[in-house]
Structure 1
Amino acid sequence: MDSVRNMGNSEQEFSLLLTLSKEDPLYEKKRKLLDARGFDHDIRFFLSSSRATFKSFISAARIIEMDEAELYFAGVDVLQPVDFYSPTNELKSLNSLLSHIDFSLNSALSNKMEQLLRQLKGETMDVIRVYGDKNRDEAKIEICNCRAENLLLQWGKEHGLKTKLQIAHVEGAGRGAVAVEDLTIGDTVLEIPESIIISEEHVYVSEMFEILKRMDDISAETMLLLWSMKERHNPESKFKFYFDTLPKTFNTGLDFGVEALTALEGTLLFDEIIQAKEHLRSQYDTLCPLLCRDHPDVFQPEFYSWDQFLWACELWYSNSMKVIFTDGKLRTCLVPFAGLLNHSLCPHVLHYGRVTSSTKSLKFALSRPCRGGDQCYLSYGNFSSSHLITFYGFLPKGNNFYDVIPMEIDVPQADDSGNHDWTTHMVRGTWLSSNHEILNYGLPPTLLNYLRSALKDAEQPKDSNINIDNEREVLETLYSIFNPMMEGHGDPDNPHWESPSWDVKLALEYKDLERRIISSVLQSCLTGLEMLQLIESKHQ
């Protein structure tokens, strides 16, 4: 990170420097988009006007903070550039500016420079505060006085855990964590010592490790899974208070019954659940029966049934975190108490994956304010709703920008001119797009450009502004792909599901979401075809 530069005596020459790392796996695509938006390789922002600096910095930071899906849907439109990509991207971009400001304040060379930086910081924090208020959750919350959770908290504090959160019951979400007081950006709401994080190190000192280390191709994560299946039943376990707070069933998509799966037929979620369960069943059949047969004194059969294995898989899928320890190694872990924080599309905590070397603790700091009594949210990751249902057991509230439908396009290959950087294509709800005009239609520009190139007539002049025939063929091709999908999703008002069980209800909610996405794509195609017809009629 570069500090403020003073390039002369004029206050107008104080500047911030933002750079795109060449180590970024999406470097080429991000560089192309930055170039299209007019940003140099060294992106310098002058502090003479905090408002102009803010707008320019955030515009560039949004691109630098993008993930692959956000890049895909952004496209490269210089005339109508997108200025919002997702709630998480927006928070990361705003907090990136704050980080640059804080770093620069430590090396400010003059009072004037410090004044400009503090003004910009105040304005940035105000924007984050307003943005957070727009996304504030109004769920009904009751403080939890459950014995198991209180014992976990007491045990954690005895081992050095610090928190400004308390456990609560959240309507529609089960347990959660709420702020005990008004908290602001940068406040540490939870600090968990490295010593109580459950990682592979505990397997290495257990009796089962001597057996497991002789097995071929067994990962540390699989060892941990097998260890936790037994450890949860150990009354002398160091982590007894943690295991005591875990539910008997997680109610994820992996627990869906026959009726729920029947309701999901034809959806992405159906395929995801079936594939996941087949993988887990194969893994179980390869591991557990053999271990129980050959080492029954260590792998007791009553602890290693299929149901116990599935429970442990759900535990690790829904509660594990990737953490970098003080030795620099990335490990998959269970983090007591942190697992009680729920997921949000607009979270309070964005970054929590590295143990601080000075305190040997994992810190959870706020990226946006959290009022006292409000639920404090994490981001579990940029996941689709089908993934969140399968492995976590819930459908997130609000517009999930990662609810995409991948596409298999049966059209001739596009030319190799270098204009097409994507090998896979996708759509999402067109209501998420801010551009529904001609040539855009609310559809992904990356997809449209690919189809235009793949379907174009070689005789058509390349400098044509609107190729009516080409545009029509693009939209008709998309319609022909998604119309059968819509027909395959059946009637949304099936009276058979008047009093559905929890899994059927969740399945129907997801199917309705997928139906809405497909419907929006079809409507955008029809609206686009009407636009083209209107243009054509004007030129006749």
Structure 2
Amino acid sequence: MEIDNLPSASDEVRDVNDCSICLALNQNDHLFSKKKKLLERQGFKSENCIYLKCSLCSEEVDTVLKELVQIARIIHLNEPEMYFGEDDACTPADSYSPRNEMEALNTIISLVDICLSSCKPVQLNVLQELRKAAIRMIHKYGDVYSMEAKTLGDSCVKENSLLQWGESNGVRTSLKIAYVEGAGRGAIAKEDLNVGDTVLEIPLDIVISEELVQKTTMYPILSKIEGMSSETMLLIWSMKEKHIADSKFKVYFDTLPEAFNTGLSFGVGAMMTLDGTLLFGEIMQAKEHLREQYNELFPTLCNNHPDVFPEEYYSWEKFLWACELWYSNSMKIMFSDGSLTSCLVPIAGFLNHSLHPHILHYSKADSDTNSLKFRLSRPCRAGEECYLSYGNYSASHLVAFYGFLPEGDNVNDVIPLDIDFGDDASDIITSDWSTHMVRGTWLSKNQSIFHYGLPSPLLECLCKARCPELRTKLKLQGSLENEMEVLNDLLSIFDGMMENLEDVNEDRSSTEWDIKLALNYKDLQRRIVSSCLNSCRAGLKTVELALYECMEEDTRG
């Protein structure tokens, strides 16, 4: 980002008072080449400087903002958004996802703020107008998802004690803790809050990090174990610290639940329900890994150092509880020395996840204040629950490690496809994508012929595998016949996936939390596969009609 106070080298003569905002792709982005192609397809480059004349009117400022947003959206695409966004019908005005839109707009605001800090007086007005326009876009987009929280009357005595403890240790917050209908505990805005406001500030002194373990008697023992990570040390530390009456963090541990109810705690009934799903394998693999890790450490540590590792604190059940604590509550924090460490952040754990979060970035420690600051990326009204984003996770990951399914359409709910193109396929398939996936076709903006709501990279790859020279997207007989074969191939794949998801023995009457959650997850998987089946069937009808019309036209000559 820069303020350009020199004439441009281009043919257009620019005023010395013009300013520019520069947006560039990160060279280390693993999607760099794909994003570069997409930018070029929309008339941009991997590095773009958008110029602002000081004399721009409000309509012209809006035009500049739209151009900046187009570029910023592409820069902030994640892999699923990129994969499913590769669609010729996707126009520059389209947003890819709520997360992507907020990232793009907040990036622009950050760049404008940098400009404002060093601009000439004559540039001030146009930059302020651009910032206001970006804020208006955020309000317009965020207002769609704004909703007052339905709080319950349950007492939050322990939670309020934690807040008081935090405030006595330097915590600052504009939030209160309450029980929210359907979500457990949540953080509610006490007043109207705007973009950029810090809603929660946590001093690093009360963040639970590796530094705490290093001061204990267990550190010299654990540090000598080959392959011992800082995360595992913290997990073992928390198993013991939870029971220490005079612990600095006792009030924090007192607010933690006795059971986290994540997928790692699923019983036999829930696992039977998940048979045939991605989540079944994910949970089984995770629990197998954790059991192996536990067996490598215990009871050996307890036997060799009973005074440091009391046996009663280190059962398998307590180890699993600690694992669930760290999976569901830890945050990756970037400290001023550049180290990135998993930490527990008291009070911040009350912030729930949403597909439409108010807070996008919170993991970088502020070296000036020696604290973590949680700033708003979109407004949060008084009485509204304040959300952050745990990450761009699928439903299977959120159920396995957090224990819930988010409300709304999750653009990251993808099902990977294992397609065998044959030994010789690599010679003819030149797709940019080595793996393929599907998601609910209701999310697609393009249901027309040659698209059907399905991802273009998948369709192109299958078409090339069958007949490399015929993927023309023209209504010619050869192309249409090839298209029908591809859709029939996909129908066969999706039919097999749906069969794996069928279970006549499902217990729909169960009141067990894990079985209910497993059923909800499985229903989501069925809905995704069903949408793909319906899109293929509708696509076949569309192609059949186009083929009939094509052959009729050929007959008429």
CA contact (8 A) 1:181 1:373 kept: yes
Counterpart residue number, 2:554: none
- The residue identity in structure 2 corresponding to 1:115 is N
Counterpart residue number, 2:555: none
- The residue identity in structure 1 corresponding to 2:169 is H
Asked whether 1:38 is paired with 2:43, we answer yes
How far does residue 328 in structure 1 lie from its aligned partner after superposition?
Answer: 2.0
Which runs of 5 or more residues in structure 1 are unaligned? none
Deviations for 1:74-117, whole angstroms, at most 9, x for unmatched residues? 11527756722111111000111111111111222243x22111
CA contact (8 A) 2:36 2:45 kept: no
Deviations for 1:240-293, whole angstroms, at most 9, x for unmatched residues? 111111000001111111111111111111111111111111111111211112
Which runs of 5 or more residues in structure 2 are unaligned? 8-12, 552-557
How far does residue 40 in structure 1 lie from its aligned partner after superposition?
Answer: 2.3
CA contact (8 A) 1:175 1:340 kept: yes
CA distance in 2, matches of 1:457, 1:94: 40
CA contact (8 A) 1:414 1:450 kept: no
How far does residue 463 in structure 1 lie from its aligned partner after superposition?
Answer: 9.1
Counterpart residue number, 1:537: 548
Counterpart residue number, 1:338: 348
Asked whether 1:140 is paired with 2:145, we answer no
1:356 aligned counterpart, secondary structure: coil
Which structure 2 residues correspond to residues 384-423 of structure 1 after superposition, within 5 A? 384-412=394-422, 414=425, 419-423=430-434
Question: More displaced, 363-372 or 274-283?
Answer: 274-283
How far does residue 168 in structure 1 lie from its aligned partner after superposition?
Answer: 0.8
Which structure 2 residues correspond to residues 289-368 of structure 1 after superposition, within 5 A? 289-368=299-378
CA contact (8 A) 1:4 1:104 kept: no
CA contact (8 A) 1:5 1:16 kept: no
CA contact (8 A) 2:148 2:385 kept: no
How far does residue 45 in structure 1 lie from its aligned partner after superposition?
Answer: 2.1
1:397 aligned counterpart, secondary structure: coil
How far does residue 121 in structure 1 lie from its aligned partner after superposition?
Answer: 1.3
C-alpha RMSD over aligned residues = 2.1
Counterpart residue number, 1:485: 497
- The residue identity in structure 2 corresponding to 1:38 is G
- The residue identity in structure 1 corresponding to 2:234 is L
For the structure 1 residues 529 and 512, does the alpha-carbon distance in structure 2 shift closer, same or farther, using more than 3 Å as the test?
Answer: same
Asked whether 1:370 is paired with 2:380, we answer yes
CA distance in 1, matches of 2:234, 2:114: 39
How far does residue 25 in structure 1 lie from its aligned partner after superposition?
Answer: 2.5
- The residue identity in structure 2 corresponding to 1:515 is R
CA contact (8 A) 2:395 2:405 kept: yes
2:20 aligned counterpart, secondary structure: strand
Deviations for 1:399-451, whole angstroms, at most 9, x for unmatched residues? 00010000100123545578422111100000011001111110011111111
For the structure 1 residues 147 and 66, does the alpha-carbon distance in structure 2 shift closer, same or farther, using more than 3 Å as the test?
Answer: same
For the structure 1 residues 4 and 334, does the alpha-carbon distance in structure 2 shift closer, same or farther, using more than 3 Å as the test?
Answer: farther
- The residue identity in structure 2 corresponding to 1:480 is S
Which structure 2 residues correspond to residues 116-265 of structure 1 after superposition, within 5 A? 116-142=126-152, 145-265=155-275
1:422 aligned counterpart, secondary structure: coil
Counterpart residue number, 1:71: 82
For the structure 1 residues 321 and 143, does the alpha-carbon distance in structure 2 shift closer, same or farther, using more than 3 Å as the test?
Answer: farther
- The residue identity in structure 1 corresponding to 2:419 is I
- The residue identity in structure 2 corresponding to 1:26 is L
Q: Sequence identity of aligned pairs in percent?
A: 52
Which structure 2 residues correspond to residues 86-105 of structure 1 after superposition, within 5 A? 86-105=97-116
CA contact (8 A) 1:253 1:273 kept: yes
CA distance in 2, matches of 1:27, 1:398: 30
Deviations for 1:130-182, whole angstroms, at most 9, x for unmatched residues? 21110123441147642221221111111111111111111111001011100
CA distance in 1, matches of 2:259, 2:176: 23
Counterpart residue number, 2:454: 443
Deviations for 1:355-398, whole angstroms, at most 9, x for unmatched residues? 11110000000000000111100100000011101111110000
1:442 aligned counterpart, secondary structure: coil
Which of 476, 486, 509 is the equivalent residue of 1:474? Answer: 486
1:355 aligned counterpart, secondary structure: coil
CA distance in 2, matches of 1:489, 1:418: 31
Question: More displaced, 95-104 or 465-474?
Answer: 465-474
CA contact (8 A) 1:347 1:377 kept: yes
CA contact (8 A) 1:143 1:166 kept: no
CA contact (8 A) 2:440 2:527 kept: yes
CA contact (8 A) 2:481 2:547 kept: no
CA contact (8 A) 2:105 2:134 kept: yes
Counterpart residue number, 1:20: 25
For the structure 1 residues 452 and 331, does the alpha-carbon distance in structure 2 shift closer, same or farther, using more than 3 Å as the test?
Answer: same
How far does residue 59 in structure 1 lie from its aligned partner after superposition?
Answer: 0.9
How far does residue 24 in structure 1 lie from its aligned partner after superposition?
Answer: 2.1
For the structure 1 residues 423 and 142, does the alpha-carbon distance in structure 2 shift closer, same or farther, using more than 3 Å as the test?
Answer: same
Deviations for 1:314-373, whole angstroms, at most 9, x for unmatched residues? 000000000011222111100000011000001000010111111000000000000011
CA distance in 2, matches of 1:157, 1:457: 65
Deviations for 1:173-222, whole angstroms, at most 9, x for unmatched residues? 10010111000000000000011100111111111111111111111111
What number of residue pairs does the alignment pair up? Answer: 537
- Which TM-score applies when normalising by structure 1? 0.95
CA distance in 1, matches of 2:501, 2:521: 11
CA contact (8 A) 1:30 1:64 kept: yes
Question: More displaced, 134-143 or 432-441?
Answer: 134-143
- The residue identity in structure 1 corresponding to 2:498 is M
For the structure 1 residues 539 and 327, does the alpha-carbon distance in structure 2 shift closer, same or farther, using more than 3 Å as the test?
Answer: closer
